[in-house]
Amino acid sequence: MHQILSKNDTMSVMKKVDKETLKNKIDLTMPILNEYQQRMCLAAEANALGHGGISLISQLSGVTIKTIRSGIKELNDPNREPMPSGKSRSSGGGRKRVVDKQPNILNRLQASINRATHKRRPRACFIMDK
């Protein structure tokens, strides 16, 4: 049977947490998980610790409080879709490429390099493109 803890009980549980053991657990599991799994695992740990758990997990893992809160929000979402196998980000996730946001960036960078190096070396520098 599960017992509901009061706020004072939760605080006493937090004081009893062995931070070194928790840190070792985090350090052992994080390298083998993808981003999504890390976020979910850390969020579940923080949630289980209760009051102060987010801050403690953030300190021990080096992951931002914002990321852990995001994970808790995802965990609590009843309409959450499971992440497809082999993926760590949802489609369209992540930062957009600079060349997509600023199409002329390579030309401007090349011109800047050429201006800066022309006086020292007569040959122009070239940027290798994939």
pLDDT in the model for residue 1: 47
Can you give the pLDDT at residue 99? 83
pTM of the model: 0.56
Encoded tokens for 37: 């799994």
State the pLDDT at residue 109: 86
Across the chain, what does the average pLDDT equal? 80
Exposed/middle/buried for 116, CB within 10 Å: 0-12, 13-18, 19+?
A: exposed
